[in-house]
Structure 1
Amino acid sequence: MYSISKVSTRLNSTLKKTALYDLHVSLGATMVPFAGYSMPVIYKGQTQVESHNWTRTKCGIFDVSHMLQSTIKGKDSINFLNKITPTDFSSLKNNHNSLTVLLNKDGGIVDDSIITKENDNNNFYVVTNAGCIEQDTKFLRAELSENFKDKDVKWELLENKSLFAMQGPNSHTVLSRYVENEILNNLYFGQRIKNVKCNNIDGLTLDIARSGYTGEDGFEISIDTDKYESFVKELLTNEECRMIGLAARDSLRLEAGMCLYGHELNETITPVEASLTWLVSKSRRTGELANFNGKDKILNQIVTKSHTKLRTGFKFIKKGPPAREHTPIFSDEAGTQQVGEVTSGSPSPSLNNINIGQAYLNKPYNKAGTKLFVGVGKKNKMFPIEVSKLPFIAASYYKN
């Protein structure tokens, strides 16, 4: 059901390991190369569908320590963020975060990122994708050296920190057994709090964000690496908790209409084309704050609708094999006019296993309800699809 693209399934000695590697192996995980790490795709005794449904109904625990954690600090940090992202972080409240995108000079997306404002000193906590570490590092260092060489701004990697996610409707209940419930009750989606003490575990503090990549309520938690494995083992003593691998993580994010870098996003796609125009803050579309990388192209697309394609969703109308990445999409069953291409596709466990996917479609074929055809396999066997709005399922975020 799950297709691991762009990676070999052969493990080798050059792959990095997270601090949970031994735990993954002890739980019977199938380990695969992913973003330079050996990561669990699925665990013994549970199928992808079971893992997916467990997260939707209980609490799934995801090792996401391959993600890059860093900080941006200094009095010029806002100006730096204004240059590399289209989002207005000057108006962000302390301990709040926002999804954003790092932009190259042509308005293409270098990476997507969650950035949290930590305090009034303009210190920011940044999480970026594991698979983009090299290009992110090169991009950020170039921006700093070329445009902020003599400015007060510093980008630093967080050392000795690991990251995991708790996702699903029971996440709050489980975490409240270790953290004061009042803290969690007042922590809403898009907020993050640091140095939260754990009850009955001496010396353990957690940095807890109410966020995730499944559409469910849940948390992403930064923890000292030397305490990571023991705490996750403790969490797994709760009957609501199971470790969940990459396979279910992908189908969960697909149902939630979320992008995966290298599939829906790359350095040639703008946020407008990616249906992420909302990341371009209205305060940054005119005046002095309209100074981000690629602003001319992006703002022109917003104002004149000059872009020719858009990211959208689709559903199969009848049964068939899932349409994977690069599957062509046609306006006619004969396949004479290609109007788009699939970026991600999978059966949807939450929607009775109908095939769903995301794609880039030429205008006006991107409109919801439009009937099109996917050409699956080497022979382009045609299956009818219907363009669908994203997300496929409603989010269950804990909001104020």
Structure 2
Amino acid sequence: MSETEDLIEEVATETLPLDAWHRAKGGRMVEFAGYWMPIQYEGIMAEHLWVRENAGLFDVSHMGQLLISGDGAAAALETLVPGDISALKPGRMRYSLLLAEDGGILDDLMITNEGDQFGIVVNGAVKWEDIGHLRENLPDHITLNHNEDYGLLALQGPKAVDALSRLVPEAAGLVFMQATRATWQGHAIGISRSGYTGEDGFEISPPNAALEAFAAALCAMDEVKPIGLGARDSLRLEAGLPLYGHDLDETIDPVEGDLCFAISKRRREEGGFPGAARILGHLGQGSARKRVGLLIDGKMPVREGAKLFDGNTEVGVVTSGGFAPSVGAPIAMGYVPTGLSEPGTPVAAEVRGKRVACTVTAMPFVPHRYVRKQGG
């Protein structure tokens, strides 16, 4: 193979295992995180509202599914993330952050104790960088596998539990941030009660060989429709959930990103994670800036990159923004000085040379509906 062919192969947009299925369903495909992915089927507004009221199926197989095993795996992971991984019980999962040496965020991720190993789901756009960072920084006796033989589906919405439990009865017994292994038509699958919409829901990891059949079985149910990236983005924005590469990056630490909950109590006391001095200092004394929610005055959406002003002084930037179907108005999130981060504080965004009035607000914009206990 020539160098030119090498380069073409390296930069070629990849397809998901369900690519043909999405296209047959009418999915409009766009490039995202190095893959062709469906941005919408019927329309972003309709799909968004369907998920809030029923159940929507998202294909997130572009994300990286990693497996970490070996003696002392939890302690090894704690040298790279600020969570208390050692206290994570089998069948439990935790949101955490992969930190750079200075405390900046390399990625946000989910870590699950699978009993004999830890499963980690990382963002698709940076999964290869994450894999390289983990391989470089984990001890040699710790095994890291990239589980490319499995896809990842997210079933989200208030009717998700009814739909999924028809195929996998074990799903109904889980609560938020619990995970289990199950079998469907002879295939081993992983299930967690989690997601990225603020709704109750599940993330399901079937083998690629069973992925289309599983997706088809769900979408054959009246309450389930396939949902694209567009609604996934508007749903997570309403839920106040950051998107890596937009609302979080290597320049932002967990305190600035309003993710202090990801720093476990024991780790706050003991440190021992990258950037601990900076992060613990910000925890104790406050950071100079903070991620906040913004309510927009009027109907004009304020998009990523818009500058934020306090009077005539530029003070921050919008990192995500758009129309919020469940709110019925445009919303955004971005960074402002901590002194301007209290809910109710007025700021202005610059859109096409004009100032648009905004108000700092607490997030989420729409209440989370996670099932934290049986019957909850």
- In structure 1, what is the equivalent of residue 153 of structure 2? 164
Q: Secondary structure at the match of 2:294?
A: strand
Task: Report if aligned partners of 1:109, 1:271 keep a CA contact under 8 Å in 2.
Answer: yes
Q: Report the CA distance between 1:236 and its aligned residue.
A: 1.2
1:274-300 alpha-carbon deviations (Å, 9 max, x no partner): 00011111111123xx10111111111
> TM-score, normalization: structure 1?
0.89
- In structure 2, what is the equivalent of residue 227 of structure 1? 210
Q: Which runs of 4+ in 1 moved over 3 A?
A: none
Question: Aligned partner of 2:16: which letter?
Answer: T
- In structure 1, what is the equivalent of residue 31 of structure 2? 33
> Take 1:205 and 1:226, find their aligned partners in 2: how far apart are those partners?
11
**How big is the alpha-carbon RMSD for the aligned residues of Structure 1 and Structure 2?**
1.3
Distance of aligned partners of 1:375 and 1:217 in 2 relative to their CA distance in 1, 3 Å threshold: same
- In structure 2, what is the equivalent of residue 349 of structure 1? 325
1:385 pairs with one of 330, 335, 358: 358
- In structure 1, what is the equivalent of residue 183 of structure 2? 197
1:186-226 alpha-carbon deviations (Å, 9 max, x no partner): 200000001x133xxx3133211000000001100000101
Q: How does 1:1-400 map to 2 (within 5 A)?
A: 14-43=12-41, 46-119=42-115, 121=116, 123-144=117-138, 148-149=139-140, 152-180=141-169, 183-194=170-181, 196-198=182-184, 202-287=185-270, 290-305=271-286, 307-319=287-299, 321-332=300-311, 336-352=312-328, 354-377=329-352, 379=353, 381-400=354-373
- In structure 2, what is the equivalent of residue 5 of structure 1? none
> Take 2:187 and 2:68, find their aligned partners in 1: how far apart are those partners?
25
> TM-score, normalization: structure 2?
0.94
Task: Report if aligned partners of 1:206, 1:222 keep a CA contact under 8 Å in 2.
Answer: yes
Task: Report if aligned partners of 1:329, 1:339 keep a CA contact under 8 Å in 2.
Answer: yes
Q: Report the CA distance between 1:13 and its aligned residue.
A: 8.6
Task: Report if aligned partners of 1:168, 1:217 keep a CA contact under 8 Å in 2.
Answer: yes
1:115-149 alpha-carbon deviations (Å, 9 max, x no partner): 00111x5x2000000000222122112213xxx24
Task: Report if aligned partners of 2:67, 2:146 keep a CA contact under 8 Å in 1.
Answer: yes
Q: Secondary structure at the match of 1:286?
A: helix
> Take 1:139 and 1:204, find their aligned partners in 2: how far apart are those partners?
32
1:221-263 alpha-carbon deviations (Å, 9 max, x no partner): 0001011011211211111111000000000000000010011
Question: Aligned partner of 1:366: which letter?
Answer: S
Task: Report if aligned partners of 2:161, 2:171 keep a CA contact under 8 Å in 1.
Answer: yes
- In structure 2, what is the equivalent of residue 9 of structure 1? none
Q: Report the CA distance between 1:185 and its aligned residue.
A: 3.2
Distance of aligned partners of 1:72 and 1:280 in 2 relative to their CA distance in 1, 3 Å threshold: same
- In structure 1, what is the equivalent of residue 3 of structure 2? none
Q: Secondary structure at the match of 1:251?
A: helix
> Take 2:339 and 2:316, find their aligned partners in 1: how far apart are those partners?
11
Distance of aligned partners of 1:366 and 1:13 in 2 relative to their CA distance in 1, 3 Å threshold: closer
Q: Secondary structure at the match of 2:153?
A: strand
Task: Report if aligned partners of 1:339, 1:365 keep a CA contact under 8 Å in 2.
Answer: no
Question: Aligned partner of 2:100: which letter?
Answer: N
> Take 1:330 and 1:28, find their aligned partners in 2: how far apart are those partners?
42
> Take 1:234 and 1:186, find their aligned partners in 2: how far apart are those partners?
21
Could you tell me which runs of 5 or more consecutive residues in structure 1 were left unpaired when the two chains were aligned: 1-11
> Take 1:203 and 1:93, find their aligned partners in 2: how far apart are those partners?
27
Task: Report if aligned partners of 2:38, 2:228 keep a CA contact under 8 Å in 1.
Answer: yes
1:168-200 alpha-carbon deviations (Å, 9 max, x no partner): 0111111121122xx333200000001x133xx
Question: Aligned partner of 1:304: which letter?
Answer: Q
Q: Report the CA distance between 1:63 and its aligned residue.
A: 0.3
Question: Aligned partner of 1:298: which letter?
Answer: I
The sequence identity of aligned pairs, in percent, is 38
Question: Aligned partner of 1:69: which letter?
Answer: Q
> Take 1:267 and 1:384, find their aligned partners in 2: how far apart are those partners?
29
